Amino acid sequence: MKTQVAIVGGGPSGLLLSQLLHTRGIDSIVLERRTQAYVLGRIRAGVLEQGLVRLLEEAGCADRLHAEGIPHDGTCIASDGEIFRIDFRALTGTPVMVYGQTEVTRDLYAAREAAGGRILYEVDDVTILGADTDRPEIAFTQNGEPQRIQCDFVAGCDGFHGVSRRTIPEDVRREYEKLYPFGWLGILSETSPVDHELIYSSSERGFALCSMRNAHLSRYYIQCPLTDKPEDWSDEAFWEELRRRIPEEAARNLVTGPSIEKSIAPLRSFVSEPMRWGRLFLCGDAAHIVPPTGAKGLNTAASDVHYLFEGLARYYRSGDTEGIDGYSEKALARIWKAERFSWWMTALLHRFPGQSDFDRRLQRAELDFLRSNASAQKAMAENYVGLPY
């Protein structure tokens, strides 16, 4: 097989890149290790920055997003029972959009299928060959049959556990990592959300987040020890703990019901540099991870895709390599700011094992400053709605 851009990974990064390239007549093949149903079964991000909304519009995949997505003009932060609001629209002129990653991915799959895009599912043993030459190739197996793709470029969009990042030699790659001593236990339930906006809640018992997918589908998270397993938590125990971590007025509005998904995600900050090696370009979780507190994972994947798409489009239009040559540096400059913001939100709102009284007082002082200081709120809002790209 031959293509211009071989894309490893059929998650949101890979699909969005493939669809954007298609709008400029650039051919790609997407290789996905799982089935489409498996990818759509993963419940992940829920908050989209305007930058991603614009990219989905450019990709011709935003009709349902505009019909069903819920613009949020602000978010609530609760600290020890008191709630205050950060008004994104007043502070930045920009809202965020609540629309699930599952729906984004579903829309992208539909668009790729409608355009006759090639997506190969259930591929195994993907190996990227000759990424540091002018003729990269991808070797893989499908249904036990060995296959090869010759291409001009490889986009590594295969997530944190993929093969792309590890294709870059260890003496070229530099990795930065921070692990947090807790995870997030999340549930999805077919109940109406507790509020019309998200509530990030810092409490003595640990962090909790009230989020949603739509008016009838709620998403809630609570901070939990890394040793916990989802099966340790009955639905009743989850609701009880959530109720104790959110302010009373929110707890009064909490509608409970059976969970339709329950999972635990560890929290991690991670960046791998550079994001380009020869003709291999990393995008999204393949190159970096943020703790979910700032809602930045999918959104940073989107800005990577934007920079790479612009670089590749420029190359195919005029042979000019400036865009692809500057890719890693441009993408990383934005990534590190999202890393900082996600780390800050995480440190601000969680209880840390062994946290001293002094550390706790600092957290409270910082929350109090955010509650009462317009400049602090503006800085938070600008980061939350997404730095420009």
Q: Decide which of ligand RFL, ligand PHB, none touches 299; Cβ closer than 5 to 8 Å per partner kind.
A: ligand RFL
Instruction: Please name the residues in contact with 241: beta carbons below 8 A apart, sequence gap of 6 or more.
Output: 205, 208, 222
Minimum distance from residue 267 beta carbon to ligand RFL (Å):
9
Count CB neighbours of 170 within 10 A: 8
Minimum distance from residue 220 beta carbon to ligand PHB (Å):
9
Catalytic residue among 292, 307, 316, 327: 292
292 annotated active-site: yes
Residue 386 as a binder of ligand RFL (CB under 6 A): the answer is no
For the window 293-322, what string marks contact with ligand RFL as x by the rule CB under 6 A? Answer: --xxxxx-x---------------------
Count CB neighbours of 283 within 10 A: 34
Catalytic residue among 296, 306, 330, 350: 296
Minimum distance from residue 116 beta carbon to ligand RFL (Å):
21
350: helix, strand or coil: coil
Beta bridge partners of 282: 156
Residue among 56 and 128 whose Cβ is closer to ligand PHB: 56
Minimum distance from residue 211 beta carbon to ligand PHB (Å):
3
Strands (E), the chain: 5-8, 28-31, 47-48, 70-72, 74-79, 82-87, 96-98, 118-120, 123-129, 137-142, 145-150, 153-156, 174-189, 199-202, 208-214, 217-224, 259-273, 276-277, 280-282, 288-289
End-to-end distance of the chain based on CA atoms, in angstroms? 34
Minimum distance from residue 210 beta carbon to ligand RFL (Å):
13
181 annotated active-site: no
Residue among 70 and 362 whose Cβ is closer to ligand RFL: 70
Minimum distance from residue 212 beta carbon to ligand RFL (Å):
11
Residue among 82 and 175 whose Cβ is closer to ligand RFL: 175
Q: Decide which of ligand RFL, ligand PHB, none touches 327; Cβ closer than 5 to 8 Å per partner kind.
A: none
Residue 117 as a binder of ligand RFL (CB under 6 A): the answer is no
Instruction: Please name the residues in contact with 273: beta carbons below 8 A apart, sequence gap of 6 or more.
Output: 173, 174, 175, 176, 328, 332
Edge-to-edge order in the sheet of strand 288-289: 82-87, 74-79, 199-202, 208-214, 217-224, 174-189, 259-273, 288-289
For the window 42-61, what string marks contact with ligand RFL as x by the rule CB under 6 A? Answer: --xxxx--------------
Site for ligand RFL in 315-374 (CB under 6 A): none
99 annotated active-site: no
- Alpha carbon of residue 88 to chain centroid: 20
Give the whole-angstrom CA distance, residue 195 versus residue 348: 22
Using CB atoms within 10 Å of the CB of residue 248, give its burial: 0 to 12 exposed, 13 to 18 middle, 19+ buried: exposed
Q: Decide which of ligand RFL, ligand PHB, none touches 219; Cβ closer than 5 to 8 Å per partner kind.
A: ligand PHB
Residue among 78 and 287 whose Cβ is closer to ligand RFL: 287
- Alpha carbon of residue 135 to chain centroid: 31
Q: What Rg value do the Cα atoms of the chain yield, rounded?
A: 21
Q: Decide which of ligand RFL, ligand PHB, none touches 34; Cβ closer than 5 to 8 Å per partner kind.
A: ligand RFL
Using CB atoms within 10 Å of the CB of residue 289, give its burial: 0 to 12 exposed, 13 to 18 middle, 19+ buried: buried
List contacts with ligand PHB (CB under 6 A). Answer: 45-47, 198, 209, 211, 219, 292-293, 295
Catalytic residue among 200, 220, 307, 315: 200
Residue among 148 and 361 whose Cβ is closer to ligand RFL: 148
Size of the site for ligand RFL (CB under 6 A): 37
384 annotated active-site: yes
Report DSSP letters for 32-51, one per residue.
-SS-HHHHHT-----EE-HH
Residue 292 as a binder of ligand RFL (CB under 6 A): the answer is yes
Residue among 83 and 298 whose Cβ is closer to ligand RFL: 298
Give the whole-angstrom CA distance, residue 380 versus residue 287: 25
Minimum distance from residue 252 beta carbon to ligand RFL (Å):
26
291 annotated active-site: no
Q: What b/e sequence results for 53-88 when a residue is b if at least 16 CB atoms lie within 10 Å of its CB, and e otherwise?
A: bebbeebebbeebeeebbbbebbbbbbeeebeebeb
Binding site for ligand RFL (CB under 6 A): 8-14, 31-34, 39, 44-47, 101, 123, 126, 157-159, 161-163, 184, 186, 265, 284-285, 292, 295-299, 301
Q: Which positions are catalytic? A: 72, 200, 292, 296, 384
